[in-house]
A and B are shown apart, each in its own frame.
Chain A
């Protein structure tokens, strides 16, 4: 069990056997095999970093390095479709290596096996891997997920975005950051998740029926930002990424250092980002810059072969400008803004200043987790975490008050998880409990009535989940797998609400909720190479504090939002059916259909009567409950066209309906088709006197349909037209004796198309971004 743990995803398995000793005339022979099929892998580049020398494996997967000294060497194995992997070896004799690369260029990842979470996921999922995260160093965490099927983004301008999976976002979508449910003001449609994607190597999107193990309140899907794999490399290594984006004149710099010894491994990551005003094809978007500074440290300690402790500390801080022309004071202002082609306050010149309106957010996380094995099959895991989130929002104000925030919220969240895990070949189960305390407070000195009240809440939950393998193990795996689980949650919420009136009064509310959720599912292979998975989940979500008590004018949407203290928990039943067909290594197809039915679905309903204020009449939106449904289809297809070309197609479709009133749901993503074709040079190429490996050229296109299912009365402005975007990218790697350098470049919206996106709340005011060129440099040392 423990020897197996040292292996990395897409990774390297190697065995060393020694022959005879001799100095500087030693040989390294080896064979590279496909980790899945055990067949030899040809044309794998084997690069000896210290000597600046590389060879390729032959058709039998064999390679030989001669004149090797009795020293320590780093060998880099790279192959099409696999992230290159490095191993370090101390050579004292002639050595024979057997290397297994998991050659996963073609197979879509459906079942994810991770170091500590083996076989816990059998529901549909997608992943964003290290290379994509590094090449997207300039992007936010949500933007990185955009190309996955079933994922869309709810945006406010270009620098605030929230992920949406299967049409659900905010409070209904759980985001796990290094195993900890992300706390903070996640209810806000213009509040981005406070996570730096460069602190992780992998983001997994679990498009499930329910998520019993992770946190209460999720209505199916989970976005998991997974801990970095620190590897076993005993020397200090690191990576530095520098990216420049033309649109916004943005610079992103990131450095990561890491080192491992058999018992202790650590990493340190820092990110610095600075953007100025971004640009549509025709004009600058004034006050849309970003500043970001993040630091994170990870420490893994292995006490003995049965005890492992992880520590993770991160600090995220950002300042985000909001389009000046989107700051409005009345419904007439909104009407005027909608009628203009170019927003008010647009300037001729680029500016990197960030003025009001803007957001300043700080988020800190400290996490300690411990794994204790009792045997190969049984272990317990404890996780303790603390998060602090401070959010300050600034508006344009009168009387020199612009420097004082209009919203200042501080939230502390303490959480403790305990789970017992049993895992054997044909059967595993988990028993766990989660407890958390949230303290949410409005800081004073805003001079504005708070949008959401102060509250304390306590949550306790317990769950049991099990997976049973049925049938006999054969070469293609088990015949069927059964999943099941139940969860119970209790929540105690104490709220101190300030009423509107003269004089304002403090009204106290105490809420208690009991929730149940459950999951049943089966994965099976009726015919070889055809996999089916069916999951059905039941989940409940308590009304969030903003849905219960929010009270006041939302400048951004020009409406008065009113909570309803009488709301009850909403419940959903979601069924997912996934079909995967992998007829060969060169083709795979995955189809995921889902249907989710809600009772007491909480939503904002426009009221008939407008409310008169000193700034004119405003529409009133009240939180109401209804029965609703979401159904949709995610499709992914990947095909190899010869040895060097790979094409990927992804399609997502969601349909949302308010069943009680028989009208559409708002904020449902329109149909989205994404296509990408990638050319990967099978051999290295000589450019500028250097040898370049992993040369890759890519073109991608996206078509987003018009959201035609919406009534005129449901929005201030009809949804925008369909749009088509084209982009391209290039990357290549060259290797120096102790350093690997990767250059990367991409261009988005190549045709400089003017468009507006239905899920971008700034579409009332301005176009979306114009052409943008990104240049990136990655150095691995």
Chain B
């Protein structure tokens, strides 16, 4: 019976604690790994205006739907392509491309076009002479409509069959980016 007052006291203290204090306001975390924006810039080798493919999702997974913009490409043309990645929720805007370049052995982009005569060749390599895909050459053929899928893999097995030539089948790893753009070759 001696313990009863202590018990009641404890319950009273507990009630006061919980009813008087709600959880502290949590500080929304900085989503450091977030990639909000991918820009694939294509410059025609024989001069002319740059073309930009842009995927932008400013609030990350969920929330408002991402905005995807593309522009037409010229038929039978060779373009120099560069990919830039950024996190635009940070200020100043965080350049994720730099992070990929620092860990180039652990990353690789893959390009898959539904148009057979649109091809993408790697223009860069990591220290093991395996491709990365931040710098590419895109070549178009005849006019047509289709799609181009760009995938960024983290920790792919670059030495697996076909991976260094851009075949994603045996790459493994996990996908950091997978975006699909509409292709309009005129």
Give the shortest distance, in Å, between A748 (CB) and chain B (any CB): 30
Interface positions of A from 323 to 374, Cβ below 8 Å from B:
325, 327-330, 332-333, 336, 344-345, 370, 372
SS class, residues of chain B in contact with chain A: loop
Q: Are B29 and A611 in contact (CB under 8 A)?
A: no
Give the shortest distance, in Å, between B81 (CB) and chain A (any CB): 18
Q: Are A345 and B172 in contact (CB under 8 A)?
A: yes
SS class, residues of chain A in contact with chain B: strand
* Contact for A614 among B18, B38, B64, B154, CB less than 8 A: B38
Q: Which residues of B contact A414 (CB under 8 A)?
A: 14
- Name the residue of chain A whose CB is nearest to the CB of B99: A399
Decide if A777 is an interface residue (CB 8 Å cutoff). Answer: no
Q: Which residues of A contact B179 (CB under 8 A)?
A: 614, 616
Alpha-carbon distance A466/B120, docked complex (angstroms): 77
Q: Are B57 and A614 in contact (CB under 8 A)?
A: yes
Q: Are A344 and B61 in contact (CB under 8 A)?
A: no
The stretch among A228-236, A276-284, A490-498, A733-741 that forms the contact with chain B is A490-498
Size of chain B's interface in residues, with CB distance under 8 A?
A: 56
Q: Which residues of A contact B61 (CB under 8 A)?
A: 500, 552-553, 560, 611, 613, 618
Query: Please, what's the 1-or-0 string for B147-185, where 1 marks a CB less than 8 Å from any CB in chain A?
Result: 000010011010000000000010011111111000000
Q: Which residues of B contact A384 (CB under 8 A)?
A: 7, 10
The stretch among B20-28, B127-135, B138-146 that forms the contact with chain A is B20-28
Q: Are B175 and A447 in contact (CB under 8 A)?
A: no
The stretch among A5-13, A129-137, A152-160, A451-459 that forms the contact with chain B is A451-459
Give the shortest distance, in Å, between A444 (CB) and chain B (any CB): 7
Q: Are A437 and B178 in contact (CB under 8 A)?
A: no
Q: Are A492 and B33 in contact (CB under 8 A)?
A: no
Q: Which residues of A contact B173 (CB under 8 A)?
A: 329, 344
Give the shortest distance, in Å, between A590 (CB) and chain B (any CB): 40
Query: Please, what's the 1-or-0 string for B104-147, where 1 marks a CB less than 8 Å from any CB in chain A?
Result: 00000000000000000000000000000000000000000000
Interface positions of A from 491 to 530, Cβ below 8 Å from B:
492, 494-496, 498, 500-506, 508, 510
Query: Please, what's the 1-or-0 string for B11-42, where 1 marks a CB less than 8 Å from any CB in chain A?
Result: 10011011101111111111111011010000
Q: Which residues of A contact B66 (CB under 8 A)?
A: 612-614
- Name the residue of chain B whose CB is nearest to the CB of A433: B11
Q: Are B62 and A492 in contact (CB under 8 A)?
A: no
- Name the residue of chain A whose CB is nearest to the CB of B160: A344
- Name the residue of chain B whose CB is nearest to the CB of A383: B7
Q: Which residues of B contact A370 (CB under 8 A)?
A: 3
Give the shortest distance, in Å, between A450 (CB) and chain B (any CB): 7
Interface positions of A from 433 to 473, Cβ below 8 Å from B:
435, 437, 439, 441-442, 444, 446-450, 453-458
Q: Are B99 and A437 in contact (CB under 8 A)?
A: no
Interface positions of A from 384 to 419, Cβ below 8 Å from B:
384, 396-399, 401, 414, 416, 418
Interface positions of B from 27 to 84, Cβ below 8 Å from A:
27-33, 35-36, 38, 55, 57-66
Q: Which residues of A contact B89 (CB under 8 A)?
A: 502-503
Given known pairs A397-B33, A447-B33, A614-B66, the reply for A498 and B176 (CB within 8 Å) is: no
Alpha-carbon distance A494/B175, docked complex (angstroms): 37
Q: Are A444 and B27 in contact (CB under 8 A)?
A: yes
Decide if B4 is an interface residue (CB 8 Å cutoff). Answer: yes
Q: Are B28 and A448 in contact (CB under 8 A)?
A: no
- Name the residue of chain A whose CB is nearest to the CB of B100: A398
- Name the residue of chain B whose CB is nearest to the CB of A381: B3
Q: Are A456 and B22 in contact (CB under 8 A)?
A: yes
Decide if B1 is an interface residue (CB 8 Å cutoff). Answer: yes
Given known pairs A370-B3, A418-B7, the reply for A500 and B23 (CB within 8 Å) is: no
Q: Are B59 and A615 in contact (CB under 8 A)?
A: no
Q: Are A372 and B1 in contact (CB under 8 A)?
A: yes
Alpha-carbon distance A251/B149, docked complex (angstroms): 48
Give the shortest distance, in Å, between A174 (CB) and chain B (any CB): 21
* Contact for B7 among A329, A382, A397, A508, CB less than 8 A: A382
* Contact for B155 among A396, A498, A500, CB less than 8 A: A396
Q: Are B177 and A615 in contact (CB under 8 A)?
A: yes
Give the shortest distance, in Å, between B32 (CB) and chain A (any CB): 4
Give the shortest distance, in Å, between B54 (CB) and chain A (any CB): 12
Give the shortest distance, in Å, between B88 (CB) and chain A (any CB): 9
Given known pairs A370-B3, A399-B33, A614-B35, the reply for A560 and B28 (CB within 8 Å) is: no
Q: A330-B174, A503-B28, A613-B60 are in contact. List 9 more A-B contacts (CB 8 A).
A: A384-B10, A398-B99, A416-B10, A416-B14, A456-B18, A492-B19, A494-B18, A613-B62, A614-B177
Can you spell out 11 A-B residue pairs with CB atoms less than 8 angstroms apart?
Answer: A332-B175, A332-B178, A333-B174, A344-B172, A372-B3, A447-B29, A447-B30, A454-B26, A494-B23, A502-B63, A562-B62
Q: Interface of A with B (CB < 8 Å)?
A: 325, 327-330, 332-333, 336, 344-345, 370, 372, 380, 382, 384, 396-399, 401, 414, 416, 418, 435, 437, 439, 441-442, 444, 446-450, 453-458, 492, 494-496, 498, 500-506, 508, 510, 551-553, 560, 562, 611-616, 618
